[in-house]
A and B are shown apart, each in its own frame.
Chain A
């Protein structure tokens, strides 16, 4: 018998028992659609988390002054010799793994201009700051290398500052005075929202670090150096590189502890990964349980079918069918049923995840590998649970089977 014959025989048998077939396939349908929906939601959630991490900066590394601990004794946050602009410049010139480096010189001042005045943290930063933080400019533009080198009196405002001083949205081109130093507003940053801790990231004034150093009076210090690695895989190596360069620049002896700390977004990334892993596990559990139940349903019905069709099997054997022909016939029937259930499940799962996406606004994504995996699983279930009934059918004695009432 050809495969075409087998499939048409299986199809005929399935069509003859429509209700029974649908009920049998229901287990697989539910299992597969559950997998599709769960993976889609999981992917959506993961995308959301990734976007949040991205929001903090691309593969960002943060260098802060001070050692955290030395031989179990904490020396306090600012106990080190501190970071300098030279440290940042050295990192920029010596590193291979960093795509960007920027010092952050922090100071506070009353900003005067527009409709009044506003107090916000002032950060003296390099051009790379924008790419490290992955922060777009919505009006005007960010200052460039020339501006930094020539110590231009330019300023880029966070959206909170811009809104408070220039409610009409015409900040770019206007003057702003910081500690009586007039600066020209060249750009306004896009709104980033709050940090995980709840502070407003948009309440900020960015100035070229050279300008802060040379034009603004008052207490100022390099609060941190921001850097970004080329890719997330490079982050650990970049971290080590920063450490090596800074130790060298600070002249630390091998037995001395670091007088600075390099942190990455690893904690958050780890948390996200853990969430995804839990999700995947949960998913696998749901999938395997429902597919298992569906498979048992198929096996049950196939056993019924074999019993019902004992005479037919006897006849086929008498007419010259090999045991393997009979076995193939029932295996094909079971696989057709499970794959049919799988396909229906994919359709329902896809429709459901679209519906969930439109109701909740989550970005659910049905991926092709998931569909293939789910269908493959359904097929495997069909073969696995069809095997026993099919073998039983193939092992029947034709004489007994023909006589079966």
Chain B
């Protein structure tokens, strides 16, 4: 399989995704037929209350889980029928993950955290993993903090490290699961500004969130309820996180609670 899908092909092409869990003899239908197409360079938010199926969808799109029915083509590669290790390779090569809880390895430097996915690369590419990791950290504005442990970094900085880790493999798609859930308002804006910047540079971003403030920084909102997409619409007035951040800082004196 080629590393890059033909130009113009969607990054995500999912048809009729269903996911049924067996729980104590009863069937729980978490997804009941989801169609979703995401083009290259899009930045979209997947919204929904808890139990809407958005985490299940995210796991399937992230190749961590498999759908019970339906088809999913990621970056031109049909994912059904791939075994565990092939899925691991897909995750490693084509996907970047950003989690709510950052999920950085403790007592491991930022640089080594970012390097981690490159150590599991099996493509046989010749690469300088340290240099790539350093470049990714530089991209998220943490060039000065490469040697710091996560415990020495603020929440926002930790999430930046996590974003650098998601970017370091140059994935086709970055999946962010409630990326600002553990952050305060200002740091949330900083992270969203970074996401918008990255998107402007061509990174395809899918953000799972339940906060409308987050979603209005994206281009498109997909809303789930009871395992079905109930709304799929572009954002009418897309906010600019960098501008909002400046505005907010000018309103509040520095150092105020």
Contacts and interface: CB of A to CB of B under 8 A. Distances in A.
Interface stretch (A22-30, A50-58, A257-265, A310-318): A310-318
A320 B64 contact: no
A234 B85 CA distance: 64
A319 B92 contact: yes
Contacts of B89: 320
Interface residues of A, number: 20
B103 interface: yes
A314 B97 CA distance: 12
Given A311-B103, A318-B91, A319-B97, A325 B120 contact: yes
Contacts of A3: none
A16 to B, nearest CB: 6
A323 interface: yes
Interface residues of B, number: 23
Given A311-B103, A317-B88, A399 B65 contact: yes
Interface string A240-259: 00000000000000000000
Given A16-B107, A402-B103, A319 B64 contact: no
Contacts, number: 49
A319 B65 contact: no
Interface in B159-176: 165
Interface in B97-149: 97, 99, 103, 105, 107-108, 116-117, 119-121
A314 B65 CA distance: 13
B117 A320 contact: yes
Contact of B84 (A5, A312, A316, A323): A323
Given A16-B107, A402-B103, A318 B120 contact: no
B93 interface: yes
A181 interface: no
B105 A312 contact: yes
B119 A1 contact: yes
Contact of B103 (A1, A315, A322, A323): A315
Interface of B: 59, 62, 64-65, 84-85, 88-89, 91-93, 97, 99, 103, 105, 107-108, 116-117, 119-121, 165
22 contacts: A12-B108, A311-B103, A315-B105, A316-B116, A316-B120, A319-B91, A319-B92, A319-B97, A319-B116, A319-B165, A320-B89, A320-B92, A320-B93, A320-B117, A320-B121, A321-B120, A322-B84, A323-B84, A398-B64, A399-B59, A402-B99, A402-B103
Interface of A: 1, 5, 12, 16, 311-312, 314-323, 325, 398-399, 402
